[in-house]
Every structure is written in structure tokens, then in C-alpha cells.
Chains A and B, each alone.
Chain A
Amino acid sequence: MIEILSASALATVQDLGRSGALRWGVGTSGAMDPLALAAGNVLLGNDEGAAAVEVPVFPFQVRFTDDVSFALTGADCAARLDDVPLLPWWVFDARVGQVLTLGLPQAGTWRASRAYLCLAGGVDVPAVLGSRSTQLRGDFGGHEGRALRQGDQLRAATPGRSAFATGFGLLPPALALPLQIDGVPAMRVLPAAEYMHYTEASRAAFWSSDWKITAQSDRYGYRLAGAALEAAHTVEMRSHGIVPGVIQVPPGGQPIVQMRDAQPSGGYPKLGTVIEADLWRLGQAPIGSRVRFIETTWDEAVAALEQTQAWLTESRRLVELCRRQRSGRSS
């Protein structure tokens, strides 16, 4: 078990999301950086979709109340286990009583904003509608349907001294599969139904300018700031189904990207959709930072998803080789 020591808010239990529940009006939830969550699980030999703790606010501190293996991915938070510094994107063994501290995200070579604490076997909370993700809007899923609080205890599904080797890591996909324009993190976007309602100048500016992630950005949506997008004529729409990644444009012309806790419907016109394969890049972009958008096609979006899956498959193959070799050496 781990016990939450810090009082910082907004850490939640997440897995890869509650897909298939939109038909009941239940949003997707899930990790803002699903690739980091999956990689942490790969390092532990878990199922890729095992639940972990997503940490967006620092410092964050937990005490291990059992021996357990854990992995850290996502933002490099200069983590420490008691007073020993830990490497990012790495798998470790914790002993009962040890305290894990995540500090502020480091700028380094990849500026990210969310860290993932994965436990051997995954965080053991009940699955609701097929997922262990916290559904904050509906107060269910995850740990008691809410963000973690000081004193909360979470169980690892397979606690105890690991039979498998730890003490190695993975190269983060942000460095293995980089995507930037002029040094600014970029995401590929499919034009959506109301794309052609916007003026040619606005459409061109959407692709060619930086967009700042404002302080009004969270797991529900990212409100972006930049040159206002102008519609050629006003569009009146009824509410309709939307998914994470959809870029809505309210009347002010400043776009909102729907994120993992987005509600399942909305009525604003849609300019585009950040492709599923790149949503993690946006999910990690810190408030105040800038991002760029790249126009893409359906085929390229599918190929990008296959590329991230191939990265995960290859990582799992290498990790399993490493675990087998190291376990053999120690016996």
C-alpha cells in the first residue's frame, strides 16, 4: 500500500480511459498522457492499461506501507526515495517505510507537466463501467470517485518484493518520437465539420501561429490564446457528440481543446480534432507554454497511432529481454 502524505490537490487514479461509455453520456476520463502511463506499466510488466496515479501538482509525497516495485514516467520531477535521487522513466523497488517525493517538473530536454506513479500490478481500485479511471464529473471510478487527499491509502495489485529485476528505464517517446515546429511542441490536427466556416486568413493563422495554453486549462479542456479565429458567417448549432481532442471555437474566437474529462456533448462549432496519437503531447504541455498545430489526414492519423503502438511493442520486447536476463543473473 501507499499512503498519500502531501496535501496537494488534483492527483487522481487513471488508466487508459472509459471508452465505450459515451453512449450513456459518460465521458472518457483516463490519463492525460496515456503513453507515459502505458510505458510505466511496461517497465513493471503490468498490462499497459493498469491504473496509476496521475500527478499534476507538486510537490507530491507518498509513503510505502509495503514493499512494492514502482515506476515513474511523465514529467521529470527530480524524484527522491528517502534521500536518494531517482532517474525519470525508470523502475524501482521500494521498501516498507520509504518516502517518495516528487519535486517540481524540470525543464531539461522535454518540458512536461504531469508525472505518473505506477505500481506493480496496477493501483487496485474497482473497475466501474470497464475502467478504473476517476470520473470527476460523475463522482465515480478511481479512488472513491474523487481526487486523492492526504491520508488516502492505495493498494498495489501485486505488492511485495518483486521476483523481477528493476533498476532500468525507457527513453521517453517525446525524445524518441519528437514533433516540433521551430522548437515549439506540435500536434497533428484533422480539420473538422465547421472548418470551412472560418475565413481563409483565420484558417491559415491557425496552422502558422503559436497558441498559448492559458491558466484556464485542466483535464476538462485547454483554453488557448492567440489571434482570434473569425467565422465567415455565424453558425448556430444544436449540441452534438464530441470526443477528447475536438477543438471548439466559442464566439470570442479563442479555441478550446477538449481533453480527457470533457463532457460528451457540446454546441460550439468544431475547427478540428487533435489526433488520438498526439493528445499526450498536448496533455503534457504546461500552462503558459506554446504549441503549434499541423494539418494532417485520416491516413496519417492512423499511421501515427500505429507508430506509437509500435514504440510501445518494441519497448515491451526490450524490457522483457532485460528482465529475463537480469533475473537470470541474480539467481
Chain B
Amino acid sequence: MSIDLVQQLSAWLVDTDIGLLELRGPDRQVQLRLRNDGGGAAIRQESVAAPSASARPPTSVMNSPSVGVFLHRHPMRESALAPAGTRVREGQPLGLLQVGALLLPVCAQQAGTVAGLRVAHGTVVGYGTPLIDLDPL
């Protein structure tokens, strides 16, 4: 990505409430993170090589599929769907994202053990926010 484009995006980003902008390509990704360190907002560019397909990461992260309110438990239930330490199968809903009346699942991408939930029950999250850490089997 050309530096001009990054600067253009950065300039737009400063005027919004967006804290993190992530662009993913086939071989690399760019994260623009808004840092609020007293003196004002600044943009930092991080270029990360995308992980190669063969290397299995020790922990996988489930990201938010949409903007919404992250729920640990179904609104009709009193206990969490998958608190830390829960053994889960592939495709199992680990948390929910509420968008108005709609409930979307945040599903395990593979079988494993829930390592932890990164965001509190009832928090408003953005698209792509990391929500759940999963240790694969």
C-alpha cells in the first residue's frame, strides 16, 4: 500500500470514533490504530506478514463478525455459553453478537478449549474486534 494512501486514511480516521482500521491482503495486512496519549491522537502503521498456512498458531482468536453488542450468555439464559476452560467443538457458538433484535453467533473455528473472553458481557464492539481466544486441540 502506498504511503500516500495510508496518510489519507489516517487523516480520515483521526476525525472518527474508529479506534482500529485493519486491511487484509493476500500476503500482508495493515493495521491503523488510533493512540490517545494525552497530547493528541496519532496514527501508527503496523505491517504484519500474514501467517503462513502451515504454521498453526498456539491460540486462535475469534473476531467480531459485525458491529454489535457482545454477549457471553444468551439473553434467555443465566449462564455463559462458553466460559474460559470450556471444551468446545468446531462450529459451536461461544458468544453472541446482538444487532438490534438479531442475535449472531461467534462460533469456534475449530475444536479446542476456550482460553478466555477478551471483552466484557454487554460491550459494544466493532467489526473485527478480537473477542475470544481459543486453544486448539
Within 8 A of A (CB), among B78-101: 78, 93, 96, 98-101
- The docked-state distance in angstroms from the alpha carbon of A311 to that of B100 is 10
Evaluate contact between B105 and A76: CB separation under 8 angstroms.
no
Question: What's the nearest-Cβ distance from chain B to residue A314, in Å?
Answer: 6
Q: How would residues 291 to 330 of chain A score, 1 for a CB under 8 Å from any chain B CB and 0 otherwise?
A: 0000000000000000000010011001100100000000
Interface check B102, CB cutoff 8 A: yes
Given that A87-B93, A167-B105, A168-B105 are known contacts, is A314 also in contact with B76, CB under 8 Å in the complex?
Answer: no
- The docked-state distance in angstroms from the alpha carbon of A20 to that of B105 is 41
Interface check A237, CB cutoff 8 A: no
Contact partner, A314, options B98, B100, B107, Cβ 8 Å: B100
- The docked-state distance in angstroms from the alpha carbon of A110 to that of B74 is 12
Residue of A nearest to B79 (CB): A108
Evaluate contact between B74 and A88: CB separation under 8 angstroms.
yes
Interface check A222, CB cutoff 8 A: no
Contact partner, B76, options A89, A167, A318, A319, Cβ 8 Å: A89
Within 8 A of B (CB), among A143-188: 167-172, 175-176
Interface check A106, CB cutoff 8 A: yes
Give how many A residues have a beta carbon under 8 Å from the other chain's beta carbons: 23
Q: DSSP majority for the B interface?
A: strand
Interface check A109, CB cutoff 8 A: yes
Which of B75, B77, B98, B101 has the most chain A CB within a 10 Å cutoff? B101
Evaluate contact between A176 and B101: CB separation under 8 angstroms.
yes
Give how many B residues have a beta carbon under 8 Å from the other chain's beta carbons: 16
Within 8 A of B (CB), among A101-137: 106, 108-110
Evaluate contact between B101 and A314: CB separation under 8 angstroms.
yes
Q: CB-CB < 8 A to A168: which residues of B?
A: 102-105
Evaluate contact between B103 and A170: CB separation under 8 angstroms.
yes
- The docked-state distance in angstroms from the alpha carbon of A87 to that of B74 is 8
Contact partner, A170, options B77, B101, B105, Cβ 8 Å: B101
- The docked-state distance in angstroms from the alpha carbon of A110 to that of B103 is 17
Question: What's the nearest-Cβ distance from chain A to residue B127, in Å?
Answer: 12
A172-B76, A318-B101 known, 13 other contacts, Cβ within 8 Å? A87-B105, A88-B74, A89-B76, A108-B76, A109-B78, A168-B102, A168-B105, A169-B102, A171-B102, A171-B103, A175-B75, A314-B101, A319-B102
A-B CB contact pairs (8 Å), 6 listed = A76-B77, A87-B93, A167-B105, A171-B98, A171-B102, A176-B101
Which residue numbers of B lie inside 8 Å of A, CB to CB? 74-78, 93, 96, 98-105, 107
Which residue numbers of A lie inside 8 Å of B, CB to CB? 76, 87-90, 106, 108-110, 167-172, 175-176, 311, 314-315, 318-319, 322
